Amino acid sequence: MKSLVLFDSNFGNTKIIAEVIADVLGGKAQSVNNFNADDLSGVDLLVVGSPINAWRATEKIRYFLSNLKTLKLNKISAAAFDTRIRIFFSGNAAKRIGKSLVEAGAELITPPLAFYVKDKEGPLAEGEIEKAKSWAAHLKTINRNHAVKKA
């Protein structure tokens, strides 16, 4: 099983969540800045995370997602998350990322998830690291079952 957690991050909070998830999955956390198509080779679980900027994913993540359709994800497992502030209307980048992953041919194996920061530059809210660990453990289990079903 090979996992890739692709993220963008302005102040480091999304990066922390991505690294925690990658660590539990035994995979790699990679900035979208350094992404190239070969990075997807052999990947069977792709997780994409972005901070919410003006109610949606960052420009770099949106650009990555818009090019993803040409890469034929061919039913690999996928999951999406965002980081955001607790405000009345945050927007929902994770949901849109999930939708784009499905449009590119991936299968979302769990609903998109939000992680919270206390302020624009962080830090992460209490409990979010633990939440990331348990979400990743959950992803790992579902992905394993998913792989068995597909075999």
Question: Interface with ligand FMN by CB under 6 A: which residues?
Answer: 9-15, 51-55, 83-85, 87, 90-91, 117, 120, 122
Length reported for the chain: 151
Q: Residue 58 CB, nearest distance to ligand FMN (Å)? A: 8
Task: Give the burial class of 74: count Cβ atoms within 10 A of its Cβ; 0-12 exposed, 13-18 middle, 19 or more buried.
Answer: exposed
Q: Residue 115 CB, nearest distance to ligand FMN (Å)? A: 8
Q: Residue 87 CB, nearest distance to ligand FMN (Å)? A: 6
Phi, psi of 97 (to 5 degrees): -60, -45
What distance in Å separates the CA atoms of residue 37 and residue 150, rounded to the nearest whole number?
Answer: 24
First to last CA, the chain: 13
Q: Residue 16 CB, nearest distance to ligand FMN (Å)? A: 8
What distance in Å separates the CA atoms of residue 66 and residue 70, rounded to the nearest whole number?
Answer: 9
Q: Residue 84 CB, nearest distance to ligand FMN (Å)? A: 3
Nearer CB in complex with ligand FMN: 33/145: 33
Nearer CB in complex with ligand FMN: 45/128: 128
Nearer CB in complex with ligand FMN: 56/99: 56
What distance in Å separates the CA atoms of residue 15 and residue 124, rounded to the nearest whole number?
Answer: 11
- The sign of the torsion formed by the CA atoms of 25, 26, 27, 31 equals positive
